[in-house]
Amino acid sequence: MNMVPTIGIETHVELNTNSKMFCNCAVVETENPNESLCPTCLGLPGALPVPNLKAIESITMLALSANCSITKNGMFHRKNYFYPDLPKNYQISQFDLPVGVNGSLEIILNETKETVEIERVHMEEDTGKSVHKGSGRIDSATSTLLDFNRSGVPLVEIVTKPVIKSSKEAVSYIEELRQLVIDLKISEGKLEKGNLRFDANISVAKESDNELGVKVEIKNMNSLRSLEKAIDYEIKRQTKLIESNEVIIQETRHWDEDKEVTSSMRSKEGSADYRYFSDPDLPNMILTDEFIDNIKKTIPTLPSQKRDKLSETGLSNSESNYLSKSEEWIYNLFLETQKLTNDTKSTFNLITGELQGQLRKAGMEKLPEWLTSEKLSEIIKMINENKISFTSGKEILTNLIQNEMSPSKYAEDNNLIQDNDSDEIAKIVKNVIDSNKEVVERVKDGEEKLVGFLVGQIIKSSKGNINPSIAKDLLLKEL
């Protein structure tokens, strides 16, 4: 029996505004609870919300970048529920008129371009933070401590259609969305700080059934790793139930990071209706054509556009995807260097392999200003023209990271230039053959492994200045 999983993802993105969504309180990063508060974000009676322009600009930019249609005549709704971290007993959110609808994001899955359809992009406010005393979990807490610093921080919720087919695709989608909000500079996009939080709706159905199975919502996944594991676990759990003809209950389940299982959340409210109604404190939100056009002008190069540009150099989809999700300077350095070397593979390998590795080792986050695309291309060209070995190239790079210098001059000064003069190499080859007669005989008898040993001897006698491939060619000719 073939089973088909279907997944939809809801993501909350915390915007990086200075002030909260509906009041002037600063968005703060502090360990001290309840420092940035006013009557509005504390839900005190009589306080009136006034929306943050920057937040509306940010969500419009995100919705446009995710190919959504923009709701020009939109509004805010109250989503009613009782919970200690929500002091008004309602969250200001959007219901049937969200800022963006019917969008899509391109993702790369393995080497293939896929499209994840987006149902809606809407604006809302964050809740406070609860610390449950006792077990740490709400359903067995002895009391709850509340910090409202986060209450009212602008949140954008992005909801996909139920179109995702695997945990890997879900992870790719989140990575893409994360890169998008970083490139748009509307959020820090740090998962570990909770800037991006996601829930997954998962259902499994028999392939022969033409409709979706019963939907189960999974919460509390804090990393891409837990997203992947939780989805895989839930697909297996539901598949087992279906195969043994048991009923899947529509419910919210909690991902337990330590036990790596999902468990039912025994919520007292159950699936209570949120009783949405339009917020009378917040009149119609009109997004004019002029407003939307101005936002369009400020949209930077998007990750998918970066990939298109990278693909033109001959990179594969996954290589382009990797660079589109690297820092801006790595992306630019690759494009500039590739233009100079016209050698896509070597440039990609040197930058993403050696250079990034060495920078990490040196504890550097950025490139020193003298390490330009010109200098990098000089190293790549020397390697490609067999003037220096790849090992010497790495050595030059190590020094170039520390000091400003000319790669070619460094190669000359440190005797790294390979001897490509065949007559000179021929002499050394002959010497090595003469002094390793026994090994030579064994090679002739078929022990081909030993060729490497002889090539090593040749390079050693030349103090590393001989191009190994030329040396090997000459050696084989002599034998």
Q: How far is the CB of 255 from another protein (least distance, A)?
A: 18
β-partners of residue 198 are 11, 221
For 293-350, the DSSP string reads HHHHHT----HHHHHHHHHTTT--HHHHHHHHTS-HHHHHHHHHHHHHH--HHHHHHI
Cβ contact 172:107 at 8 Å: yes
Cα separation, 305 vs 321, in Å, equals 11
Cα separation, 360 vs 355, in Å, equals 9
Nearer to another protein among residue 144 and residue 461 (C-beta): 144
Q: How far is the CB of 283 from another protein (least distance, A)?
A: 4
Nearer to another protein among residue 19 and residue 317 (C-beta): 19
Q: Residue 291: count other Cβ atoms within 10 Å of its Cβ.
A: 16
Nearer to another protein among residue 96 and residue 243 (C-beta): 96
Nearer to another protein among residue 77 and residue 325 (C-beta): 77
Q: How far is the CB of 226 from another protein (least distance, A)?
A: 23
Q: How far is the CB of 50 from another protein (least distance, A)?
A: 5
* R_g of the chain, CA atoms, integer Å: 30
Nearer to another protein among residue 39 and residue 300 (C-beta): 39
Q: How far is the CB of 251 from another protein (least distance, A)?
A: 15
Nearer to another protein among residue 55 and residue 224 (C-beta): 55
Q: How far is the CB of 295 from another protein (least distance, A)?
A: 13
Cα separation, 120 vs 321, in Å, equals 25
Q: How far is the CB of 321 from another protein (least distance, A)?
A: 33
Nearer to another protein among residue 34 and residue 318 (C-beta): 34
Q: How far is the CB of 218 from another protein (least distance, A)?
A: 19
Residue ranges binding another protein (CB under 8 A): 17-19, 23-27, 32-39, 42, 50-56, 73, 75, 82-84, 131-132, 138-139, 141-148, 266-268, 272-273, 275, 278, 280, 282-286
Tokens 């026994």 correspond to what residue?
A: 438
Residue 377 backbone phi and psi in degrees, to 5: -65, -30
Nearer to another protein among residue 268 and residue 297 (C-beta): 268
Torsion sign, CA atoms 463, 466, 468, 472: negative
b/e map of 75-101 (b: 16 or more CB within 10 Å)?
bbbbbbeeeeebbbebbbbbbebbbbb
Task: Say whether 139 sits in a helix, a strand or coil.
Answer: helix
Q: Which of 383, 309, 399 is nearest to 341 (CA)?
A: 383
